[in-house]
Amino acid sequence: MLLGEVAFLGPQFDAIVQKLSDDAVRTIITWLQTITERKERALLPTHGSQYKSVPTGDLLVFRKELSIEGKAMRILLVKIKNAQYWEFHLGKHAYYDEVSEQLQLRRSS
């Protein structure tokens, strides 16, 4: 279970969520469970940068690809280490690229 405050972000978040199939919802829930069970490996932002005034070295970032109505979507789950705050980003690839750049995710991620 995710604990603390969760910010749901993305310019089309609500519209995308309305299109989620039951299978997609189960996939997301299973993915979140693997994260909370520490079975999912976090992506590594570039150290020395900042994301919303937080050093990127203090972030855990998880990524999930999802197809919704045949369109590629991405989820980025951002956790500030030792804090009760999560960001759940859901959007099309262009939005994913924008947030990834802000997070300074390494290209190999």
* Domains of the chain (ranges, CATH numbers): 5-103 (3.30.2310)
DSSP one-letter string for 5-28: EEEEE-TTHHHHHHT--HHHHHHH
DSSP one-letter string for 13-69: HHHHHHT--HHHHHHHHHHHHHHHTT-SPPB-BPTT-EETTEEGGGEEEEEEEEEET
Is the pTM above the cut of 0.95? no
* pLDDT for position 3: 61
74 burial (CB, 10 Å; 0-12 / 13-18 / 19+) is buried
pLDDT digit string (tens) for 44-93? 888 788 888 899 889 999 999 999 988 999 999 999 888 888 999 999 98
* pLDDT for position 105: 84
Mean pLDDT for the stretch of residues 27-54: 90
